[in-house]
Amino acid sequence: MGRTRWITVAVLMCLSNGAGAQAPMPALDEALDAPTRAHVVNEYARRLTAQHVDPGRAKAVADNLRQRLNNGEYNDQTTARLLAARVSRDVAAMYADRQTYLEYVPYDLGDERQRPPPPVQSADNFGLRKFETLGDNIGYLHISRFAPVDRASANAAARFMSQAGDCAALIIDLRDAGGDSEAMAALLSSYLLVDRRSYIFKDKQIHLHDQVDREGKVMAEYWTTADAPGKHFGGYKPLYLLVNERTSSAAEAFAYDLQQYYQRAVIVGMPTMGDARVAAKQRVSRQLQTVIAATQAVNLSTRGNWEGTGVQPNRVVTAADALNAAIAMAQASLKPKR
């Protein structure tokens, strides 16, 4: 009897769990009355004017949003999801800034228990996906994203980059790569750069770029790492980076910095996405947060960045042809000079 009872309980628990898995909790969609809509739009406009890295254009966008609100254009956006979509569309129509929009999230921002767990960074080896030798001792590294730097990801980076240390030439595939960690981009650059400003006195660290706010204040600096562990590819052997129109953010920083530092890397493919800014996010209602580009990259060599234009390839080819083109260029560079 006791055994039968426990089996029955176990079956009921399995059925209950299965039913729960088939019926997930529906995403929240906050209802917004007129005063709340006005608060959200006006507060977003205020933050745009006060925080955006490009204050002149941001003020024009903010004034446009206020005018639309006064004209009743947001009267039909009665939920958080609808208002976020409409306001973001209006912002983009005036200013194509990928780091500036009104964001809807499907949970209560004020309840930490509802926030989704962060992704497991090591699940894909921190975006450090693949190494192989293509022939003629040409190394191939595939990076899908630039993960945050901590002890585990730094150790993975050392192992990953060390594999290419003895290669005669190196191709790094950044097609479709993204990620927010410019720190990881700087760390990986440590394996590919040496100080070329002097033949005698060489610094162990190279200042690549900064993130700078609207007043010119440096909010973050990105340097190569002194004595990064593992074997280094070095700063002189042929290096090629593959990019496409979906290469974005930290991957663009990596490509731009290596291209501009004494033309260290040859960029092959199509112009990248053109996203050189970092956004600040602030809650404005239960399910809405303002996203505003608060800083932008400034490269130490060019004093510019890739915002809007993207990183421009040295060799423009379709994304599908980029690898073959880079292999041919690498092979040509390795042929003995006559």
3-state secondary structure labels for all residues of 140-168: EEEECECCCCCHHHHHHHHHHHHCCCCCC
On whether both 136 and 252 belong to a single domain, the answer is yes
Gyration radius from the chain CA atoms? 25
- Is 293 among the domain residues? no
On whether both 138 and 261 belong to a single domain, the answer is yes
- Is 23 among the domain residues? no
Tell me the pLDDT of the chain averaged across its residues: 92
- Is 27 among the domain residues? no
Mean pLDDT of 265-285: 98
The DSSP line for 322-338 is HHHHHHHHHHHHHSPP-
- Is 242 among the domain residues? yes
Tally the domains of the chain.
Answer: 2
Q: Which of 50, 79, 107 is the last residue in one of the domains? A: 107
On whether both 325 and 195 belong to a single domain, the answer is yes
- Tens-digit pLDDT profile for residues 2-44: 433 333 333 333 434 444 444 455 578 999 999 999 999 999 9
On whether both 186 and 314 belong to a single domain, the answer is yes
- H-helix or E-strand spanning residue 235: none
On whether both 232 and 327 belong to a single domain, the answer is yes
> How far is it, in rounded angstroms, from Cα 187 to Cα 150?
11
> How far is it, in rounded angstroms, from Cα 177 to Cα 165?
22
> How far is it, in rounded angstroms, from Cα 239 to Cα 2?
71
On whether both 260 and 315 belong to a single domain, the answer is yes
CB 220 within 8 A of CB 211: yes
- Tens-digit pLDDT profile for residues 97-148: 999 999 999 999 999 999 999 889 999 999 999 999 999 999 999 999 999 9
- Is 305 among the domain residues? no
On whether both 319 and 193 belong to a single domain, the answer is yes
On whether both 86 and 234 belong to a single domain, the answer is no
CATH of the domain at 223: 3.90.226.10
- Is 21 among the domain residues? no
Please give the pLDDT value at position 39: 98
> How far is it, in rounded angstroms, from Cα 207 to Cα 300?
7
> How far is it, in rounded angstroms, from Cα 318 to Cα 163?
28
- Tens-digit pLDDT profile for residues 282-322: 999 999 999 999 999 999 999 999 999 999 999 999 999 99
- Tens-digit pLDDT profile for residues 37-79: 999 999 999 999 999 999 999 999 999 999 999 999 999 999 9
Half-sphere exposure of 89 (CA within 13 A, CB side): 10
Q: Give me the domain span that covers residue 254.
A: 126-275+310-334
On whether both 58 and 204 belong to a single domain, the answer is no
pTM: 0.89
- Is 14 among the domain residues? no
Residue 136 CA: distances (Å) to CA of 238, 240, 329? 13, 15, 12
On whether both 59 and 162 belong to a single domain, the answer is no
- The CA-to-CA distance between both ends of the chain, in Å, stands at 91
On whether both 48 and 98 belong to a single domain, the answer is yes
On whether both 147 and 179 belong to a single domain, the answer is yes
Q: Which of 107, 137, 171 is the last residue in one of the domains? A: 107
- Is 289 among the domain residues? no
Please give the pLDDT value at position 26: 58
- Tens-digit pLDDT profile for residues 159-176: 999 999 999 999 999 999
